[in-house]
């Protein structure tokens, strides 16, 4: 088994989330925090209860401020180098829940510069993905009045003066250590962390405010912010708070993360119902036994069965999920039957998403930040 590696540009080996908490110096989201969130939001999102959003930095500070009547804003983003899949969807559906429950602004960064620098793709290809991905982000249903898109190359005039202030305080050595870079990496990629740092405080500069920032992200993005949180403070801004999500696994096994390349391993937001059925039936790793007879006798393994694990994201009813797990582990439910339940859930989500996506084009200009 490969050594565990988790950074924005490399996720390898078996991810041990407890070890990540120690290595990154982040904190587990515990019962006490869950209770606090529930009290404020009026409910608790299944992803919090189920440990999908599992860790944080300074989340208490956001809740303290909110309870005192202060607003905060949300910041998250997308690297546009391919189609949007269910891994993105799950994170952003949680971000939408936060926006709705706390009634706050969301600043959404499209890092077309990052993907151009890191991927073997042309500038035009990246621009095309930026456009396509915007349609999916809009289709998530974010409130157009409270959501602002920042596109790194388009808002460069606003971002660059701030990015150089950040860049001046980060050394090449710390970038090398955080991302495993050496002398062969291009110089743009070394600078890039500065661009991802700017939205932590840019909204305050633009709106002449002083609000806290909360960043929901998949845990592989943490190294950027570990490098820049202190820098932000040195520049006179508040350190951001962060909520970290585990990776949604590929279809082919419970380890690793979904990616937009390798089409059989992930479900895309634009897949039609038939494709979803085919992909899941063909590729979803099964925790079932070799034969039906054996499965009925010995039961299946929930922990390695991808359909069972994915249902954590899409079956929001705790009782139903518990029942499925119980029956599957006793052998009363077969792998094919669990897959069928999953396919139905996902296809409802996708049908809805695709309808909203069709109407998204005309909203793009409303979402893009204008000053
Ligand atoms: N770098 C991220 C990606 O490749 C995109 C991103 C930019 C982001 N800013 C962010 C993700 C803030 C989470 C939070 O997908």
pLDDT digits (tens, 9 = 90+) for 320-343: 999 999 999 999 999 999 999 999
Give the sign of the dihedral formed by CA 41, CA 18, CA 61, CA 216: negative
Residues with CB under 6 A from ligand 1: 8, 75-79, 109, 111, 114, 196, 215, 217, 221
Closest residue CA from atom 10 of ligand 1: 77
Residue 243: pLDDT band with limits 50, 70, 90 = very high
Distance 326 CA to ligand 1 centre (A): 37
Mean model confidence pLDDT for the chain: 96
Total length of the chain: 371
Express each pLDDT in 247-285 by its tens digit: 999 999 888 788 776 667 899 999 999 999 999 999 999
Per the CB < 8 A criterion, the answer to whether 252 and 277 are in contact is no
pLDDT at 258: 80
* DSSP result, 322-333: HHHHHHHHHTSS
Helical H segments across 73-122, by residue range: 86-102, 112-118
Phi, psi for 107 (deg, rounded to 5): -105, 120
pLDDT of residue 96: 98
- Quick check: 245 and 216 in contact, CB under 8 A? yes
The protein residue with its alpha carbon nearest to ligand 1, atom 11, reads 77
pTM above 0.85, yes or no: yes
Parallel/antiparallel/unpaired status of strands 147-151 and 105-110: parallel
Measuring CA to CA, how many Å separate 67 from each of 70, 72, 101, 199, 339?
7, 11, 13, 24, 43
Distance from the CA of 79 to the center of ligand 1, in angstroms?
6
Residue with the smallest CA separation from ligand 1 atom 6 is: 77
Q: What is the pLDDT of residue 109?
A: 99
Domain with residues 271-358, CATH architecture = Orthogonal Bundle (1.10)
Considering the segment(s) 5-253 as one domain, its CATH architecture is 3-Layer(aba) Sandwich (3.40)
Answer left, alpha or beta for residue 240, where phi above 0 means left and psi between -120 and 50 means alpha. Answer: beta
Which residue from 87, 190, 110 is spatially nearest to 156, judged by alpha carbons?
110
Say if residue 155 is exposed, middle or buried (CB neighbours under 10 Å; 0-12, 13-18, 19+). Answer: buried
Q: How far is the CA of 362 from the centre of ligand 1 (A)?
A: 24
Q: For ligand 1, atom 5, which residue shows the shortest CA distance?
A: 78
Q: Which of 8-12, 191-195, 198-202 has the lowest mean pLDDT?
A: 8-12
| Alpha-carbon span 314 to 90, nearest angstrom | 9
Percentage helix, strand, coil for the chain under 3-state DSSP, each rounded to 5:
55, 10, 30
For residue 363, give Cα distances in angstroms to 94, 182, 345, 357.
Answer: 22, 42, 27, 10
Q: What is the mean pLDDT of residues 29-36?
A: 97
Residue 262 has what pLDDT?
60
> 241 pairs with which residues across the strands?
214
The pLDDT, as a whole number, for residue 261 is: 67
DSSP state of 4: P
Q: pLDDT tens, 84-102?
A: 999 999 999 999 999 999 9
- Domain locations in the chain? 5-253, 271-358
Biggest alpha carbon–alpha carbon distance for the chain: 67
In this structure, the residue with its CA closest to atom 8 of ligand 1 is: 77
Q: pLDDT at position 265, please?
A: 85
Tell me the pLDDT tens digit for each residue of 101-114: 999 999 999 999 99
pLDDT at 1 over 80: no
- Centre of ligand 1 to C-alpha 197, Å, is 10
pLDDT digits (tens, 9 = 90+) for 149-160: 999 999 999 999
User: How much is the average pLDDT of 33-57?
Assistant: 97
Mean pLDDT of 204-223: 97
């Amino acid at each position: 088994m490969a050594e565990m590696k988790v950074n924005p540009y490399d996720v390898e080996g078996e991810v041990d989330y407890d070890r990540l908490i120690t290595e990154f110096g982040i904190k587990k989201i515990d019962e006490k925090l869950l209770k606090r969130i529930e009290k404020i939001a009026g409910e608790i999102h299944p992803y919090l209860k189920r440990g999908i959003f599992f860790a944080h930095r300074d989340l208490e500070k956001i809740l303290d401020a909110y309870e005192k009547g202060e607003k905060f804003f949300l910041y998250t983003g997308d690297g546009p180098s391919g189609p949007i899949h269910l891994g993105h969807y799950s994170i952003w559906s949680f971000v939408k829940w936060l926006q709705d429950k706390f009634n706050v602004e969301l600043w959404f960064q499209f890092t077309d510069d990052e993907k151009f620098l890191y991927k073997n793709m042309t500038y035009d290809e990246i621009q095309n993905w930026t456009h396509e991905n915007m349609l999916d982000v809009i289709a998530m249903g974010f409130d157009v009045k409270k959501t602002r898109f920042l596109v790194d190359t388009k808002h460069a005039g606003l971002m660059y003066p701030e990015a150089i202030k950040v860049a001046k305080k980060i050394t090449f050595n710390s970038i090398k250590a955080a991302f495993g870079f050496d002398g062969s990496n291009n110089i743009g990629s070394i600078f890039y962390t500065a661009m991802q740092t700017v939205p932590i405080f840019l909204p305050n500069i633009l709106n002449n405010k002083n609000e806290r920032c909360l960043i929901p992200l998949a845990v592989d993005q943490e190294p950027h912010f570990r490098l820049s949180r202190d820098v932000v403070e040195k520049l006179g801004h508040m350190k951001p708070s962060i909520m970290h999500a585990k990776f949604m696994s590929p279809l082919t096994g419970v380890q690793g993360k979904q990616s937009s390349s390798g089409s059989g391993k992930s479900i895309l937001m634009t897949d039609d119902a038939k494709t979803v059925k085919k992909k899941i039936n063909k590729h979803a790793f099964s925790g079932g036994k070799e034969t039906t007879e054996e499965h009925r006798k010995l039961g299946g393994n929930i922990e390695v069965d991808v359909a069972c694990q994915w249902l954590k994201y899409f079956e929001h009813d705790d009782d139903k999920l518990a029942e499925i797990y119980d029956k599957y582990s006793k052998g009363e439910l077969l792998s094919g039957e669990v897959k069928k339940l999953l396919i139905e859930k996902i296809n409802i989500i996708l049908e809805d998403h695709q309808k909203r996506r069709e109407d998204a084009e005309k909203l793009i200009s409303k979402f893009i930040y204008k000053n």
